[in-house]
Amino acid sequence: MIGKLNHVAIVVPDLTAATALYRDTLGAAVSQPVDLPPHGVTVVFVELPNTKIELLHPFGESSPIAGFLQKNPSGGIHHICYEVDDILAARDRLKAQGARVLGDGEPKIGAHDKPVLFLHPKDFCGTLVELEQA
Ligand code: CO
């Protein structure tokens, strides 16, 4: 059911330093920072040949990643995103198998203007999983 790895999201305490690390030390192509107020994050997109890394930093007062950064002050992998062809079919299949969908279970428009859902990390090997309809 899941397709390509769309991205790995890493929360970072210092977006400028993290961008420099990926650009200068690792030699990757990186974007300018993009503020996404509805999502409470500022993102730098790291383009790799086969996928993307998203460097996330809290934006605004009530960022959903503020707590993560408090618990992980030096940052860490926040979630991985897999592509699916049909997000409602994917959700229904997962729920039928007992997996927990976060929130109200309805897809939201994600950072790439495509429908996304998040799955409970306790049901997926301790990893927060995002599904995006590609
Ligand atoms: Co994501």
Could you tell me the distance, in angstroms and rounded to a whole number, from the CA of residue 44 to the centre of ligand 1?
Answer: 12
Instruction: Give the pLDDT confidence score for residue 106 in this predicted structure.
Output: 95
Assign a CATH topology to domain 5-133: 2,3-Dihydroxybiphenyl 1,2-Dioxygenase; domain 1 (3.10.180)
Tokens (6 digits) for 33: 């920072």
Annotated domain spans of the chain: 5-133
Each residue's pLDDT expressed in tens, for the chain with a length of 134 residues: 999 999 999 999 999 999 999 999 999 999 999 999 989 999 999 999 999 999 999 999 899 999 999 999 999 999 999 999 999 999 999 999 999 999 999 999 988 899 999 999 999 999 999 999 99
From 54, 83, 130, 132, the catalytic residue: 130
Could you tell me the distance, in angstroms and rounded to a whole number, from the CA of residue 30 to the centre of ligand 1?
Answer: 16
Cβ distance 78 to 8 under 8 Å? no
Tokens (6 digits) for 77: 């992998």
Could you tell me the distance, in angstroms and rounded to a whole number, from the CA of residue 119 to the centre of ligand 1?
Answer: 12
- 130 flagged as catalytic: yes
Instruction: Give the pLDDT confidence score for residue 22 in this predicted structure.
Output: 98
